[in-house]
Amino acid sequence: MNCLVLGGSFNPIHLGHLLLGQEVANEFGYDRVLLVPSFMPPHKSILDDPGADARLAMARLAVAGDPLFEVDDCEIRRGGVSYTIDTIDYVKGRWQSAGKPGLVIGDDLVAGFGAWRDPERLARSCGLIVARRRAGLDGTTAASQGLPYEHRIAHNLLLEISSTDIRARIASGKPWRLLVPERVATYIESHGLYGCNPHCIP
């Protein structure tokens, strides 16, 4: 199996995450996309966190029945700070059977990649793929931001959807429901997440 790792807090998971995974897998020939919800990111806190179990449940609902995607809870089971190098080591032993696993990072993370745990070994252990996350940036711009390791540039469609915006929309009563998979929207409503209440009209 040739796996592509797409990690994040997924708070909540949304259509932009899923399209990114699908596009990168298609462009570079991966046959499985592993969604890995983080337990505790090392460089930022998870705002308005409903808890790891809720984020994991939403990720599983989002891809249920889709053969391209698999949700792996290794970082949540591991607990503590979620370091990507530990996850790649795990994926190589648990999932990968052909070559190196791929790892998607957004172009917004390129500048800080050197501060990740063991970045040199991480870059050797996986196929780094830089994906567009911000308007106005293309592959050339992302590559010129100073990533000194071998990597490829994804030509993914940019959907300006963010979990932060979705949470804000829910809390303020603005439309949000079509930005997430239907089963995720139902979960958010039924559990009253992010300030949603039984009478909210998304």
Give the Cα separation of 134 and 161 in Å (integer).
10
Residue 136: what pLDDT? 53
Give the Cα separation of 18 and 12 in Å (integer).
12
Residue 142: what pLDDT? 45
Give the Cα separation of 115 and 130 in Å (integer).
16
Instruction: Give the helix ranges, DSSP H, for 30-178.
Output: 52-63, 74-78, 84-94, 119-125, 139-143, 163-172
The pTM of the whole model exceeds 0.85: yes
**How many other CB atoms are found less than 10 A from the CB of residue 122?**
21
Residue 201: what pLDDT? 52
Cβ atoms of 125 and 89 closer than 8 Å: yes
Residue 144: what pLDDT? 41
Encode pLDDT of 147-163 as tens digits: 899 999 999 998 889 99
Q: What is the mean pLDDT of each run of 10 residues along the chain (202 residues)?
A: 94 97 97 96 81 97 97 96 95 84 93 93 96 64 67 92 95 95 97 80 50
The third-level CATH classification (topology) of the domain covering 3-160 is Rossmann fold (3.40.50)
